[in-house]
Amino acid sequence: MYWRRRTGGTFSHLLHDYRRKRDLANELQSRACRSADPDTFLCGARRFDMVVDQTVVLENEHEVGVLMDFSIYDLRIRGATVVERFVDHSADGDAAMQQVLRAMREARYRLLRIRGLVPGVGVHARDELWNEDLFVADINLSRTAGEGDFIATRTLGFGEFHITTGAALPITPDEEPALRNLLRSFGIMQSSESRPALHDPRTRSRLNEAIIRRCLSRGASRLVSTVNLRDDGDDEADAGERRNCESRHPTSPLRLSLPRTNAPPRAALPGSPCPCGSGPLFKKCCGKRRAIRRPG
């Protein structure tokens, strides 16, 4: 493969460019999150049955990234997404910032089949949703994925490489037939090159939501794994790559405060006390009922 033949110097240049783009994308996405109306995230949580008694209930920290990624990129309120509005109001900035902003506006949710690994750099993948081959620069993914793995994720494109937004969801082989049926319900056939549903923003948002809902309902967020990364000779900022690879948006559930004028919702994780006072949220009462409500 092309990237396997690259020299160490070229990899060094790629990794430097990747880190700059990743860090800038992290910052801009966090700013986009802060610019959003708090009800945006509450609305997003309701789409995935994550709200119990005005509390946003999450199964694990990875779901924070998934929820925020969906809410700013796919959730359309008054005809536009948070990212679209944020980009429209971010005319200032240097060339690098404008490049990342354009990539955010043109971001695509993808179904990636891993075709090859470049350890410590990224992966070669076939996007089975958009029928594209791409190289994804992602250090953690290069060390945790295997050839043939199938993941749903969003990417930002920068010419010769893409980066993920950090909210990937694994798809198991058992789930692939159901996913194919889901795509067919949107008129997307694996054998067809013509996929008009992908070119209508509203339909595309509904499709992305359906894919994410399907993955979450099957426990995909619990299958996410990360590794402790060490970049030999690189700057200390990359020591935090393990945390960044789980979510490119703020990952602490305490940050997912969704204030409203009445009954402020809050995020809760396993072990949190249930609002009804019955004990740990996910062992009794509300958390148990939520698990039952999810499709089996």
Distance CA 145, CA 285 (A): 36
Residue 58: which of 148, 133, 153, 167 has the closest Cα?
Answer: 167
Average pLDDT of the chain is 78
* Mean pLDDT, residues 94-114 taken together: 96
Direct distance between the N- and C-terminal alpha carbons of the chain, in angstroms, rounded to an integer: 40
Of 80-89, 139-148, 168-177, 260-269, the one with minimum mean pLDDT is: 260-269
pLDDT at 265 over 60: no
Strand order in the sheet with 51-52: 51-52, 55-57, 267-268
* Mean pLDDT, residues 136-143 taken together: 93
Distance CA 113, CA 84 (A): 28
Residue 114's H or E segment, with its range, is strand 108-118
What pLDDT, on the 0 to 100 scale, is given for residue 91?
78
pLDDT at 148 over 90: yes
Residue whose tokens read 């969801």:
169
Q: Is 256 in contact with 38 (CB distance < 8 Å)?
A: no
What pLDDT, on the 0 to 100 scale, is given for residue 279?
55
What pLDDT, on the 0 to 100 scale, is given for residue 28?
96
Name every residue whose Cβ is closer than 8 Å to that of residue 261 and which is 6 or more positions away in sequence: none
Distance CA 181, CA 26 (A): 34
Band of residue 195 on the pLDDT scale cut at 50, 70, 90: confident
Band of residue 271 on the pLDDT scale cut at 50, 70, 90: low
- 194 class by beta-carbon count within 10 Å (0-12 exposed, 13-18 middle, 19+ buried): exposed
Q: Is 226 in contact with 140 (CB distance < 8 Å)?
A: yes
Distance CA 220, CA 205 (A): 20
pLDDT at 242 over 90: no
- Amino acid identity for residue 91 in this structure: A
Q: Could you tell me if residue 129 is left (phi over 0), alpha (psi between -120 and 50 degrees) or otherwise beta? A: alpha
The 8-class DSSP code of residue 73 comes to: H
Greater confidence (181 vs 93) lies with 181
Distance CA 138, CA 118 (A): 10
Q: Is 93 in contact with 101 (CB distance < 8 Å)?
A: yes
What pLDDT, on the 0 to 100 scale, is given for residue 291?
39
In tens, the pLDDT along 163-186 reads 999 889 999 999 999 999 999 999
Band of residue 52 on the pLDDT scale cut at 50, 70, 90: confident
Residue 43's H or E segment, with its range, is helix 38-47
Distance CA 175, CA 170 (A): 10
What pLDDT, on the 0 to 100 scale, is given for residue 223?
82
- 74 class by beta-carbon count within 10 Å (0-12 exposed, 13-18 middle, 19+ buried): buried
In tens, the pLDDT along 10-43 reads 677 889 999 999 999 999 999 999 999 978 999 9
What pLDDT, on the 0 to 100 scale, is given for residue 5?
40
What pLDDT, on the 0 to 100 scale, is given for residue 254?
28
